Amino acid sequence: MSDAEWARVRDLLPVPAWLAGRGGRLEGCCHRQMIDAVRFLVDNGIKWRAMPSDFPSWPRVYAFFARWRDTGLVAELHYRPPRPSEGQRAAARSRVRRSWTRIR
């Protein structure tokens, strides 16, 4: 996951209880690792138990995934429209300028 993608997703994730001052234990893995693991699983079509050792253990990843699925976060991430890149925005602006010059 690139830094730009992480910047868009980070604000959607729930704040851990210990970080919000509500008590609880520290989480062993960061949310970015969990999202990377789920994306790897979906992209490669592997089973949960076949998760590579570079990622956190599969039960831990699945627990995060299940929690996020139950709160609707997975659906929100899946259906969120992608933000256009700077190149796409520049191309759209130039199309608008060209169409405006034709109207004059």
The pLDDT score that the predictor gives to residue 32 is: 85
The pLDDT score that the predictor gives to residue 79 is: 73
CB 74 within 8 A of CB 34: no
DSSP string spanning 6-63? HHHHHTTSPPPTTTTTS--PPPSS-HHHHHHHHHHHHHHT--GGG--TTSPPHHHHHH
The tens-digit pLDDT sequence of the chain (104 residues) is: 788 887 877 777 776 655 566 666 666 678 888 888 988 888 888 888 988 888 988 998 898 889 888 888 878 777 765 565 566 666 666 665 555 555 55
The pLDDT score that the predictor gives to residue 12 is: 76
The pLDDT score that the predictor gives to residue 11 is: 75
